[in-house]
Amino acid sequence: MSHPSVVDVFPDQPDGYEWIDGEPEFDASRHLQLEAPEESWSLAELGYSETFIERQASPTAMFSPARMLSDEGVTALHETMRLLRPHIRQVPDSHRATGYLRGTVFISRFIRDLCRNEDITAFASDLFGTPLVPHTMVYQQGHMNFAPRHISKPVDGWHYDFVGFDYVLMCHDPATYKGGDFKYFLGTREEGHAIVSRGDTIPDDRVVTPHFPGAGYACFMQGSAVYHCASPLEETAERASLVNAYVSLDVTKPDPTRTFFITPEGPYDWIEKEPETKHRYAEYARHTAWLGREKLSFLLSTLPLDADRDAALNALREAASCIERAIETLEIGPQHFEKMEELRRRQDKDLFGGE
């Protein structure tokens, strides 16, 4: 069952994908073991301004690891991952994470049902104090990162996410490998980005390395506002994480979702190699159509008939702004990473204020 708001948004399996055979069936009663995390950090603690915080759907930035899967759930996930292994994408070393899987919800019913499970969605909504639904850009559901080819490379470099809310689920017990630690930066994304882009190292005393007691634990965060990474492995090991994203139904706040379209990189043509890259145009348009519909419904239910001209104009502008932003992004089209990051930072600054 999906929330009525998104029931017609998630597309059916596109051409070119096939369900994997023989995977376990997801069963929430046996596979989940949701236990609240012990610690949290607020956006204020990270140094964000009141203006920024007021424009977010939740004042909470991130949590320490929460148990999500039971032992049986971890076993079922591992069995699914074994079947998914032939689908892992190995992309150029210049990319932030070089081994990953996208579009998992179109090839694994287990991952799809895990990512859209209502108990986990309600759990995440309670943690952040805002109603969430699984992300309407479905490639943001069940993205998986794997150990890179060369262990000298971080499993995932420092970054902040293109989505408002997500969790990082550890698929293996971190005690079984050295390095490969998931890390939070105790600062704003702008500050973290400034440190890394001038070639400096994020100071240790500003980093939290959450302790994951085992496989099946997840860190929930407002990924778009939390600068984070996964450090290099110190030895070759099996390591995987599953990232699942959510979007808030609170449409009074600006949408933190961003996307980008990338140009071919040398001989590696993303569109040819990855159908998900090609699908991103329609996916972004569909997400925007959903958001616009939610915003227009909100206008219909809240704008009184005696509203003055400014109030009516502002309400319409607010509803249309997400569509205008998507049109701008689509008009600009495929970009190299640096250009795409520039666009993203400008759009964020327009919406959330400068730091």
Q: What is the binding site for Fe ion (CB under 5 A)?
A: 161
Residue 218: beta bridge partners? 66, 169
Which tokens sit at 287?
Answer: 């997400």
Q: What is the Cα–Cα distance from 95 to 140, expressed in whole angstroms?
A: 17
68 to each of 62, 75, 163, 284, how far by Cα in Å? 16, 13, 21, 29
Least distance in Å: CB of 184 to Fe ion?
A: 11
Of residues 161 and 348, the one with the C-beta less far from Fe ion: 161
Of residues 166 and 274, the one with the C-beta less far from Fe ion: 166
Which tokens sit at 103?
Answer: 């579009």
Of residues 26 and 165, the one with the C-beta less far from Fe ion: 165
Nearest Cα residue to 221 out of 181, 163, 291, 180: 163
Least distance in Å: CB of 229 to Fe ion?
A: 8
Least distance in Å: CB of 169 to Fe ion?
A: 12
Least distance in Å: CB of 13 to Fe ion?
A: 26
Least distance in Å: CB of 174 to Fe ion?
A: 17
Least distance in Å: CB of 210 to Fe ion?
A: 14
Least distance in Å: CB of 242 to Fe ion?
A: 12
Q: What is the Cα–Cα distance from 150 to 235, expressed in whole angstroms?
A: 10
Burial call 10-43: b when 16+ CB within 10 Å, e when fewer: beeeeeeeeebeebbebeeeebbebeebeebbeb
Of residues 161 and 283, the one with the C-beta less far from Fe ion: 161
Of residues 24 and 142, the one with the C-beta less far from Fe ion: 142
Of residues 3 and 89, the one with the C-beta less far from Fe ion: 89
Residue with nearest beta carbon to Fe ion? 161
Nearest Cα residue to 59 out of 69, 67, 49: 49
Which tokens sit at 235?
Answer: 């030895």
Q: What are phi and psi of 271, to 5 degrees?
A: -70, -35
Secondary structure of 264-317 as H, E, C letters: CECCECHHHHCHHHHHHHHHHHHHHHHHHHHHHHHHHHHCCCCCCHHHHHHHHH
